[in-house]
Amino acid sequence: MQQISIAGGKVNPIGLGTLNMGEDLKNFDQEISAIRTGIDNGMQVIDTAEMYGSGKAETFVGEAIAPYNREELFLISKVLPSNASKRQLPKSLDDSLKRMNTDYLDLYLLHWPGPVPLQETVEALEKEKNKGKIKAWGVSNLDINDMNKLLQLSQGENCATNQVRYNIIDRGIEYDLMPKMDEYHMPMMSYAPVVRKKFSDKQNVLEQIAEKHQATIHQVLLAWNIRNKNTIAIPQSSKAEHVYDNSQAVNIELTKEDLEKIDEVYPKPTSSEPLALW
């Protein structure tokens, strides 16, 4: 099985997103089943945030992972920019750990740039790493300018990843952000890797590639997302059957011809573009 190196370990390049999960009790059992289906089929990365449902998603994750060996999972949460100060970040982290019923996170991310100076946030994250409460830290939704600033800061090069929106339509990061991260041997983490809409006349190309690989279009989109062997895709689904399908996308190896066909209808960026958000 393909694996990606991140934060000193290796993980399955397709993970589990939890946005909007754990918020409605009538869907709770179905959502728990979805996460556990993913884990049972080799998914290790589980991504959440203190913002999701004001902590309900983190509590949900804690419940979902309860039967499993914590050491075999890769847990990620995110701190709100307003909480990313030296004073507040440790409190936010402790609250997240309590909700998830764990004593450490594998990765803790700044959710997006905010009012607290990046240097202060980096220092707060490093302090928590030294305590053993997080194994590594990273960022989310930082564009090329923000990343350049971060990498110039003291200990900024310790950033483990940047989680951004990336899919066949939102490809802007390929022009400048992705090369910068590659320069620092930093894996990419992508949210919204599967665009949930019809592709009109372009759909035929994806359908043909999916048929060739005996796969679904969603599986092809995930396989495309992780094609460079240095990206972790974080799709979200609350249905076990969809999560199972997602887990199998790791076995699809798109050919050079497949990738060229996709590039023809969803071209690479030719200039710098604003970072795609949500």
**Consecutive 10-residue averages of pLDDT for the chain (278 residues):** 89 97 94 98 98 97 98 98 98 98 98 97 98 98 98 97 97 97 96 77 85 96 96 97 97 97 95 92
| CATH label, 4-198+228-252, candidates 3.30.360.10, 1.10.3720.10, 3.30.565.10, 3.20.20.100 | 3.20.20.100
The label of the residue with tokens 């009790």 reads 25
Q: For 105, which DSSP code?
A: B
* Coil/strand/helix, residue 132: coil
pTM of the model: 0.96
Cα 172 to Cα 178: distance, rounded to the nearest angstrom: 9
pLDDT of residue 197: 62
Catalytic sites, residue numbers: 52
The span from the first CA to the last CA of the chain, in angstroms, equals: 30
pLDDT of residue 2: 83
Q: List CB contacts of 162: < 8 A, sequence separation 6 or more.
A: 138, 139, 140, 142, 147, 177, 181, 186, 188, 189
Q: Are 232 and 4 in contact (CB under 8 A)?
A: yes
CA distances from 73 to 167, 236, 237 (A): 25, 17, 18
